[in-house]
Amino acid sequence: QWIYLNGEFVEKHDAKISVYDHGFLYGDGVFEGIRVYDGNVFRLKEHLDRLYDSAKSIMLVIPHTKEEMTDLVIKTLQRNKLRSAYIRLVISRGVGNLGLDPSSCAKPQIVIIAEELALFPKELYDSGLEIITVATRRNRPDVLSPKVKSLNYLNNVLVKIEASLAGVSEALMLNDQGYVAEGSADNVFIIKGKKILTPPGYIGALEGITRNAIMEIATELGYTVKEEPFTRHDVYVADEVFLTGTAAEVIAVVKVDGRVIGNGVPGKETQQLLEAFRHRVIEDGEK
């Protein structure tokens, strides 16, 4: 496996960065997780727009144009002879001294990893997920915007820890006011009647690329899709609940904090949206 690292391709076991890198010392950097379906990088433009916006927000200048970055992503795939893959693109502040001030970091480090996709087991899609809500809160948007996909993922890691301590594989984070924000690395949707809701960005949700694709697809299918704040109660009494993300695509939730959602099996509408999403992915590739 070949890793793109600061201008060259190196073997996985040689792909190393300095302990003085501020990404390592302070989580100072940004990243993207991107999916490749049969040679087509799904919504690469949207991912790069988000990456560059995240970088701009934290005053990190990426030393490549988006066109060059597109090229590097494609080259990484070709080098690894991958047609279906998961890509991790990481830009860290770079090597500096031990102080927080990023001005000691001369050059951002750029890492592109392309791996064979580790798909979630099919059983999970058939049975749906049992999840909980956890004590870890999403950071306030006025402190660090949830739109910034930064290397500071401690809240998200803590969500995963709380989930696995409770014996479930995923959990929902609330924001500081108790509104539902998102999962550890996925967005949440609820369906009530013909209305589909997902929390707006200001509540503390990342504007997921999969989330946006699903909002688009659901609107085309005739649903009323709204970005609207909701509480745990709204989740408990929803007809259907599902999560979206680059790796998970669309996955049904059948139990939340012990409350059975709908009939306790993945709902019809969620299935329909997952199918439509998988079609869209193929259509996008044919364009």
Q: Which is nearer to ligand PLP, 3 or 206 (CB)?
A: 206
Beta strands 85-92 and 29-37 are antiparallel
SS (H, E, C) the chain: CEEEECCEEEEHHHCCCCCCEHHHHHCCEEEEEEEEECCEECCHHHHHHHHHHHHHHCCCCCCCCHHHHHHHHHHHHHHCCCCCEEEEEEEECCECCCCCCHHHCCCCEEEEEEECCCCCCHHHHHHCEEEEEEEEECCCCCCCCCCCCECCCHHHHHHHHHHHHCCCCEEEEECCCCCEEEECCCEEEEEECCEEEECCHHHHCCCCHHHHHHHHHHHHCCCEEEECCCCHHHHHCCCEEEEEECCCEEEEEEEECCEECCCCCCCHHHHHHHHHHHHHHHHHHHC
Catalytic residue chosen out of the listed positions 45, 75, 147, 149: 149
The reply to whether 188 sits near ligand PLP by the rule CB under 6 A is: no
Stretch that binds ligand PLP, among 67-75, 127-135, 163-171, 201-209 (CB under 6 A): 201-209
Q: Which is nearer to ligand PLP, 108 or 208 (CB)?
A: 208
The dihedral formed by the CA atoms of 258, 141, 153 and 33, expressed in degrees to the nearest 10: 90
Which residue type sits at 239?
A: D
The reply to whether 186 sits near ligand PLP by the rule CB under 6 A is: yes
Residues 22-41 that bind ligand PLP (CB under 6 A): 33
The reply to whether 185 sits near ligand PLP by the rule CB under 6 A is: yes
Residues 44-103 that bind ligand PLP (CB under 6 A): none
Q: Which is nearer to ligand PLP, 4 or 42 (CB)?
A: 42
Q: Which of 187, 189, 215, 256 binds ligand PLP (CB under 6 A)?
A: 187
The reply to whether 200 sits near ligand PLP by the rule CB under 6 A is: no
Q: Which is nearer to ligand PLP, 141 or 245 (CB)?
A: 245
Instruction: Extract the tokens encoding 254.
Output: 């059948």
Q: Which of 77, 211, 270, 276 binds ligand PLP (CB under 6 A)?
A: 211
Q: Which is nearer to ligand PLP, 135 or 260 (CB)?
A: 135
Stretch that binds ligand PLP, among 82-90, 107-115, 205-213, 267-275 (CB under 6 A): 205-213
To ligand PLP, the closest distance from the beta carbon of 50 in angstroms equals 7
The reply to whether 156 sits near ligand PLP by the rule CB under 6 A is: yes
To ligand PLP, the closest distance from the beta carbon of 175 in angstroms equals 13
Euclidean distance between CA atoms 25 and 215, whole angstroms: 37
Annotation says 66 is catalytic: no
Q: Which is nearer to ligand PLP, 86 or 223 (CB)?
A: 86
Binding to ligand PLP by CB under 6 A, coded x per residue (else -) over 238-277, reads ------xxx-------------------------------
Q: Which of 146, 137, 139 is nearest to 57 (CA)?
A: 146
Residue given tokens 């190393």 in the structure block: 16
The reply to whether 170 sits near ligand PLP by the rule CB under 6 A is: no
The footprint of ligand PLP (CB under 6 A) covers: 33, 156, 182, 185-187, 206, 208-211, 244-246
Catalytic residue positions, numbered? 149
